[in-house]
Chains A and B, each alone.
Chain A
């Protein structure tokens, strides 16, 4: 349990070993296509960056793969219709991540489920130029599917003065309960490697490094055999530890590079892509298929039949839960894994977005009484980013946001290790989020008054 004991497998300093793993629930369920939903709700902000502008209106007929939300600006990602049908409305709908209402295109399904013309045509990826790849990725609306939802074409456009020497592929899937990436890696390993190669070609980088957690040895063996005659693509087993799949931690573990505060992966010469993202890049380039579906793990003790589903974007969660035979005793529904996932307030209005990798339905929702910090220092020991979470939480509680900023509160990635480990059960991540929001408000105010 002590984080700095060297294990034989590659890893990083800090992090935690969650008691409950929950992966066994869905490990061996081959993903099945979820029945097509009657209605989909396509939110216009499913990515980090500027929200899309809806370009269809009520009453329009759209086909699967048709562009319905046009990206606004460079850091933004297109949104395409995930089913064919009639646009019922363009109206605000509750967003599962922010909790507030955002504009959404609501589509009612028609019988035919064929692609729009121009999409789903095979395309020879051998002749393709880097710019074409970037262009195809951008128009397909691909974002980081590991959960961060950062537009991928932005990642594929590193600033000129930065050289990227390694593409790191994240096959760690360190969040407990989730197995969607695991199933994808088992079923589509060749496609994933193709996608990875497209990324390498796009940014002109020779080396790749794939990291897989040690609880997925079958995938490791599979990938090893596929790339056995390609010395520039390395595959490595990683220690099972959370958050092994986070960008910084992967680079630390695989490439042994360290970060200065505020440094991004590309500043140490690497970019990280998730396996699901690599797969959708392959689909977008090879078949010109926009991102309209993904694999989602529906799991937890609140469903009788935990499953991996292939789900169209914007599918109501209710129908997925029905499909997995939800028990009536669900107390909590979480989008994503138990560590970083977002609890949902309304089961009836929640819809899937690009970043949804899992839906966790739990019967018990524990409540803790938080106490004052006992200065045990365990949070410091486990914070993978080298912060002092306890101190930050105290500063935020005292509303000393400037002090928290000086102590690099903005560096926190909200992984939740500190809150998990804290014996005083302090709501550290919540306090840190609070401080971050207040600091962002102050900065915006300063910027407004300065200019």
Chain B
């Protein structure tokens, strides 16, 4: 009995001494963390997507406090989160328009150059013989962008092309980064008219490879009242700073390369729900 009592008391005293030691050490050697980092961290979406170019949400919170990132840099959180971070930091911020991802390819009737039976990843496919697709610029269709999306905002459509569910897209831009053919662009949400082709081939060649390609006929250029669309290197390119999404170019495009997404969207949404 004495034996147990002795051991308990000794251990108890030892524990107390160590406990006090630890308490003192943790206080004197404590790393001072700005409390704002924690409170910002709580607001952030916690997706760790890296769209802000920081190592995860915690890294972003730190960068904001250190002044290395803007409060509005979290594209996922958008204006609400930016506003709350701004409140913590005691700054004002400029409201930016949300960007969403747009797939700039509408390959139709493109034949394959060869049978590809390699790794099912667009990036890996693109390095074998310049990609198996008949068009050197078009979508390879393995859905590497869909896989990269952390917000389940993309899916592969029945036509073999990736589709964006705009309501879910946070504009993080991950899909645009992984696409080896740079088909995906991040475009302000309010811009609804897009040239869905990336082919730099001459008109005649492009027409042969794909039914929906830009053939560089310059009809759109002539029609545009705002001087916003120009054919460069055999491809019509929209200057989104000037474009008002009036849709005049859509009407004249003979190959239906330019699309007004305002109309497209409702259609594609209904197909998902159906």
The residues of A with any CB-CB pair to B shorter than 8 Å are 94-95, 98-101, 342-346, 367, 397, 427, 430-431, 433-434, 437-438
CA distance A397 to B121 in the complex (A): 10
Chain B 81-122 against A: per-residue CB contact (8 Å), 1 yes, 0 no?
000000000000000000000000000000001100111010
A-B contact pairs, 22 of them (CB 8 A): A94-B130, A98-B130, A99-B129, A99-B130, A99-B131, A100-B131, A100-B136, A101-B136, A342-B129, A345-B129, A346-B113, A346-B114, A397-B119, A431-B119, A433-B127, A434-B119, A434-B121, A434-B123, A434-B124, A437-B123, A437-B127, A438-B123
Chain A nearest Cβ from B111, distance in angstroms: 12
State the B residues within 8 Å of A (CB): 113-114, 117-119, 121, 123-124, 127-132, 136
Q: In the bound complex, what is the Cα–Cα distance between A373 and B59 (angstroms)?
A: 36
Chain A positions within 8 Å of B121 at CB level: 434
In angstroms, Cα B109 to Cα A369, docked, is 29
| Beyond known contacts A94-B130, A99-B128, A427-B118: 20 more, CB 8 A cutoff | A98-B130, A99-B129, A99-B131, A100-B130, A100-B131, A100-B136, A101-B136, A343-B114, A343-B129, A345-B113, A345-B114, A345-B129, A427-B119, A430-B119, A431-B119, A433-B124, A433-B127, A434-B121, A434-B127, A437-B127
Cβ A430 vs Cβ B130 within 8 A: no
The DSSP consensus for interface residues of chain A is: mixed
Q: Using known A-B contacts A98-B130, A346-B113, determine if residue A431 contacts B124 with beta carbons closer than 8 Å.
A: yes
Shortest beta-carbon contacts, A-B, top 10:
A99-B130, A99-B129, A100-B130, A434-B124, A345-B114, A345-B113, A345-B129, A430-B118, A437-B127, A367-B117
The dominant DSSP class at the B interface is: loop
Expressed in whole angstroms, the Cα–Cα distance for A431 and B117 within the complex equals 13
Q: How far in angstroms is the closest Cβ of chain A from B80? A: 29
From B131, which residue of chain A is reached at the shortest CB distance?
A99
Least distance between A370 CB and chain B CB atoms (Å): 9
Chain A min CB distance to B182 (Å): 12
What chain A residues lie within 8 Å of B132 (beta carbons)? 345
B residues within 8 A CB of A397? 119
Q: How far is the CB of B91 from chain A (nearest CB, A)?
A: 25
Contacts of B123 in A (CB 8 A): 434, 437-438
- Residues of chain B within 8 A (CB-CB) of A95 are 130
Docked complex Cα distance between A316 and B131 (Å): 22
List chain A residues, Cβ under 8 A from B130: 94-95, 98-100, 345
Chain A residues with Cβ under 8 A from B129's Cβ? 99, 342-345
* Chain B residues with CB below 8 A from A430, complex form: 118-119, 124, 128
Question: Which residues on B sit within 8 Å (CB–CB) of A367?
Answer: 117
Q: Which residue of B lies closest to A344 (CB)?
A: B129
Q: How far is the CA of A397 from the CA of B114 in the complex (A)?
A: 23
Q: Which residue of A lies closest to B113 (CB)?
A: A345
